[in-house]
Each structure stands twice: as C-alpha cells, then as structure tokens.
Amino acid sequence: MNEAMLPKILGHVRQTSILQSTMSMLEWDQNTGLPPQAAEYRAEQLTLLAGMVHQRQIDPVMGEWLDQLDTSSAQEDPSSPARVIARCMKREFDRCRRLPQALVEELSHATSIGQQVWVESKLSDDYQRFLPQLKRIVELKQQEADCLADPGQSRYEVMLDSYEEGATVDRIQKIFGALRESLVPLIREGSERCARLGPSVVEGHFPIVPQQRFSKWVAERIGFDFQRGRLDQTEHPFCTTLGPHDHRILTRFSEDSFSSGLYGVLHEAGHGMYEQGLDPQWYGTPLGSAASLGVHESQSRLWENLVGLAEPFWRWAHGPLLQHFPTEFRDVSTERLVQDLNRVQASLIRIEADEVTYNMHILIRFELEKQLMSEQLRVEDLPEAWREQYRDYLGISPTEDRTGVLQDVHWSAGLIGYFPTYTLGNIYAAQLYAVADRQLGGLASQIERGEFRPLLDWLVERVHRHGQTYLPMELIERATGEPVDSRYLVEHLATKCR
Ligand SMILES: [Zn+2]
C-alpha cells in the first residue's frame, strides 16, 4: 500500500513546493529592491499564489491518501519515511481542517492591518491606538486555539505546539524557571564587572564596504555554500529557501555599529547552513524540512554566539579583520575585542540585548503571553504589566511604550507562542556545542585554526539531515545523549560574567 500511496503524496507535495518557493522568490525580491509602485501588483501575485497553495493543502484527496498511508504504515518504524510523512502531514492537514475559513480570513486581515497600525503606534509611542487591533488579534488567537485544542490542552499550549511540537507549557516552565534562577546572579556579576570598563572599541564609525567583504568572507569560511546560496541586503535580516539548492541570507549593515552587520550575517548564515544541510532529495516534505523554529534558532545562535563571540574565533579572525579595518582596530588586542563584544548590561530593547540578559526578555514575554491567552491579563493592562515584569526581571523599566510593549512586531502579526523558541534555541545551541566539543576533541583549537568543517559535519549528521523525523526536543536528546537542560547555557554564559 505504501508503495502506491507515497509517490502520489510526494508528487502532490512537490507541486505545492514549487508554488510555495515561487512565493518565497517573490517575497525575497520584495525585500531586496522592489520599486515602491510595484507593491500593489506584487500583493496580487502573492495573494493568488497563497490561495492556490491553500487549496492544495486542504485538498480532500490528499486527506484520503494521508489516512491510507497512516493506516498502511502503522506497523513500520516511527522514523521510516512513510511514518514521518504520515505523522507530520496529517497533523498539518488536520489543523487546517479544524479552522473555519472565516476565522482564517479574519485573522489574516486583522494581522495585516495590525502590523500597519503597530508601525504607526510605535512611531508615535501611542499604545491606545494599537489597543483595539491587538485586542481583536488576541481574541481571534484565542478562538483559533479553542478550535485546535485537544481535550484538556490549554490555549497557550496549542500556540506553543504549533512552533515547537511536543513542547508542553509545563516542561518549558521548568526549563525557564531553572534558567531564570541561574541568570539573576550572573547578570549582577556581569553588569558590575562591565560597568568599570571604558569606551567600547566596537562602537564608532565603520565603512559599509569592508564590513560586507569581511562578513561574506567569514560566512564562506564557516561553511555557508555560496554555490547554493547568496548574501544580500535588506531592512529586516532574514534567511529564506527558494529551492533545494537555493538559500538566501539577507542582512543589514550600519556605519555606527561594527557588530550588528557581522553578527547578523553569522546568525543568518547559521540558518542558511541548516537549510543547506537538509536532504535535498526530500525537499518540500517533512523529511527535508527543519525540525522546528527552536532547532532552527539553535543553529543560528550556535554560529553567532557560541562560535562567533568567543575568543578562539577572534584569534583566527583578528588578522583578517585588520586587513579590512587597518585604522579602526589598530592597537586593539584580541582580548579587548572579545571583552567589548561580550559586555553585559540590562537594557530595554530585546534585539539589542547582550547574550546574558537576552533570555530575560524572552522569559518576560512568555509570562505575559500565557496570561493573555488564559485571560488572566487584559490587553488594556499590558503596558503596566510589561513595566512591572521588567522591574522584576531586569531591575529597569521603560518610560515609553515604544521601548516597552510596542517594541516587537510579533503580537501584531499574530505570532503568540513564538518567543519561547528563541530561548529554546539558545539552550539547544549550548547543549549541542558542549557535546560536539567533547566528542570532537576540543573545538577551541580547531576554530583557532579556522577549521569549522568538523563542527558543521557533526551538526549535519546529528541534526540537519534528520529533518522532522523526530520531535524537536527528542532530536536534541538523540544528538546529545541527554534530555534538554539549560545548564549548558548557564555554564557558557557564566564565562562572560567572571
Ligand atoms: Zn534567527
């Protein structure tokens, strides 16, 4: 039976992937240099394609094939291609089927308007203007969760599960609780130490062209394959896949900051290398797709933070850096460079936070989202709750909403339950790195010599090539030989605070 069903399903999926990747191509183009007057026609192109993709995804024939595949492969090993495809695709299909068309359309409309209103509200620092939109979005997300929930499953758990399958609120709460306890003293020590430092060498004026050249060179050396990808500039950095051998990373360079461009490239290259490590023969199917947002983020954070912010990396990259910036970094020692790149200080803006305080921003959002979904917190009271949480977690509090509750786009886009995947990514990254370090016989000396291949091969073998064969936390457990644990992240962060 499988032999008959699988090719039919794969044929259908392949055509859907062609449509989806065409949409991605149009979106990539939209973000890299679309003339302003072309926006309206581009929206029409994308809407038409989105409708076609949706029709294919809810095609009843596909539902029948998936049911048959599920029944006929029930006895097989859970990691066999037929079982993985049946499990993942049936789950998606059932999700789509449980959502009424009217709700899907209203949510799409509300979040599209919501993002526009959010931009204006943030600019004018006016939460009241955003309030009616956000209230509607939260209500619709509650309805969505109610439609999707299995018996006994909370709304927030449903949201979380859509980004990180199998991650329960209980488990995340335990992991995050332990993390918070360890972070409090670390942040205090780190901040006290950094408060005594003078001006930073990574702030100043850095011409864009050498930044671009240096960053591209680094991305290539760590293993991003430019025969199967490219690097371009955009307003909001991201990474997108346009085909089995076409991975695009996009970033933004700023003359005032040396680190934002380079670390943006390292981050997106990490995402890109994960996509390049997936098995191209399964492109578009669950076997050739990333395990989850959290696992995706673990790959970007691993290269950006664990590798790129550490001293061995700069012992290798310092010489080439001087070739690109002979005056800017003249007389700066490697130790000083690493010290200034790793300064710890509580701040209000998540995306500008250092590696140690970053997770506190996520823990705060996790608490607030949970309360919003369970109606323990009213959308009207969100700005005050936000300030209170910041005082409690980081000892600082915003006086304006634009540096507070209005800073992130996520909620205006209906992305509730998404934030925890950032911290999960950090936790997975530290655990993967620690185990790879042990198994590969000391990564520091390899990195210092510019040898990144062993680490990348290890990640491809343990993480990338499995696609969605295993649930995210199960994949990390199999890759590292132990359950997901925040202690590796804490040990790593402690090195920045001593
Ligand atoms: Zn990312």
- Whether residue 151 is contained in a domain is answered as no
In this predicted structure, what is the pLDDT of residue 3?
64
Q: Please state, for a pLDDT cut of 70, what percent of the chain lies above it.
A: 99
Please tell me the predicted confidence (pLDDT) of residue 138.
97
Neighbours of 160 (CB within 10 A): 28
Same domain, 75 and 192: no
* Ligand 1 centre distance from Cα of residue 485 (Å): 21
pLDDT band per the 50, 70, 90 thresholds, residue 197:
confident
Last residue of a domain, one of 75, 98, 121: 98
* Alpha helix ranges (H) inside 290-381: 293-301, 311-324, 334-341, 355-373
Does any domain span residue 122? no
Top mean pLDDT of 72-81, 97-106, 252-261, 477-486 is at 477-486
CA of 297 to the centre of ligand 1 (A): 5
Q: Based on the residue annotation, tell me whether 268 is a catalytic residue of this protein.
A: yes
pLDDT band at 55 (very low <50, low <70, confident <90, very high): confident
Kindly state whether residue 335 falls inside one of the protein's structural domains. yes
Q: What is the pTM of this model?
A: 0.94
Q: Residue 85, by phi and psi: left (phi above 0), alpha (psi -120 to 50) or beta?
A: alpha
- Could you tell me which of 5, 17, 54, 480 has the C-alpha nearest to residue 286? 17
Model confidence at 401, pLDDT cuts 50, 70, 90, reads: very high
**31 and 175 fall within a common domain:** no
Which among 149, 285, 269, 160 is positioned nearest to 217, based on CA atoms? 269
In a domain, 129, yes or no: no
Shared domain for 329 and 441, answered yes or no, is yes
Residue 381 belongs to a domain: yes
Ligand 1 centroid to residue 71 C-alpha, Å: 37
Answer yes or no: do 407 and 289 share one domain. yes
Rounded to the nearest whole angstrom, what is the distance from the C-alpha of residue 93 to the centroid of ligand 1? 26
Give the number of residues written for the chain. Answer: 498
Among 98, 125, 149, the domain boundary falls at 98
Whether 498 shows a pLDDT value over 80: the answer reads: no
How many Å apart are CA 451 and CA 317, to the nearest integer? 12
Domain count, the chain: 2
Does 480 map to a domain?
A: yes
Q: Which of 3-7, 168-172, 402-406 has the lowest mean pLDDT?
A: 3-7
Please identify which of the residues 268, 297, 311, 355 carries the catalytic annotation: 268
**Quick check: 321 pLDDT over 90?**
yes
pLDDT at 31: 83
SS3 133: helix
112 falls within a domain? no
Q: Which of 80, 98, 116 is the last residue of a domain?
A: 98
Residue 198 has pLDDT above 90, yes or no: no
CA distances from 281 to 5, 21, 153, 224 (A): 18, 16, 36, 19
Report the share of the chain in percent with pLDDT over 90.
Answer: 80
**Residues 222 and 364 grouped into a single domain:** yes
Given a cut of 80, is residue 289 above it in pLDDT?
Answer: yes
CA of 264 to the centre of ligand 1 (A): 9
Same domain for 91 and 194?
no
- pLDDT value at 420 more than 70: yes
**Mean pLDDT in residue range 160-180:** 95
Q: Is the pLDDT assigned to residue 131 strictly greater than 60?
A: yes
Given a cut of 60, whether residue 1 has pLDDT beyond it is: no
The Cα–Cα gap between 203 and 400 comes to 25
Q: Is residue 212 part of a domain?
A: yes
Q: What confidence score (pLDDT) does residue 345 get?
A: 92
449 and 343 together in one domain = yes
| 401 and 492 housed in the same domain | yes
Cα(107) to centroid(ligand 1), Å: 24
Structure tokens at 121: 């509200």
Residue 16 domain boundaries: 1-98
181 and 67 together in one domain: no
pLDDT at 497 over 90: no
Average pLDDT value for residue range 37-62:
87
219 and 93 fall within a common domain: no
Residues 68 and 186 in one domain: no
Single-letter code of the amino acid located at 498 = R
| 32-46, 109-123, 321-335, 478-492: least confident range | 32-46
| Centroid of ligand 1 to alpha carbon of 198 (angstroms) | 31
Mean pLDDT of the chain: 94
| 171 in the same domain as 46 | no
- How many angstroms is it from 260 CA to the middle of ligand 1? 14
Instruction: Output the pLDDT for position 2.
Output: 57
Q: Calculate the alpha carbon distances from 372 to 127, 142, 169 in Å.
A: 16, 9, 14
For the stretch 426-453, pLDDT in tens is 999 999 999 999 999 999 999 999 999 9
Neighbours of ion ligand 1 (CB under 5 A): 300
pLDDT bin (cut points 50, 70, 90) of residue 115 is confident
Burial 274-297 (b: 16+ CB within 10 A, else e): bbbbbeeebbbbbbbbbbbbbbbb
- Residue among 386, 394, 465, 341 nearest 134 (CA): 386
**Residue 71: CB atoms within 10 Å:** 11
CA 425 to centroid of ligand 1, rounded, Å? 9
Reduced 3-state DSSP string for 149-175? CCCCCCHHHHHHHHHCCCCCHHHHHHH
Domain holding 318: CATH number?
Answer: 1.10.1370.30
From 35-49, 87-101, 401-415, the region with the lowest mean pLDDT:
35-49
Q: What is the pLDDT of residue 108?
A: 84
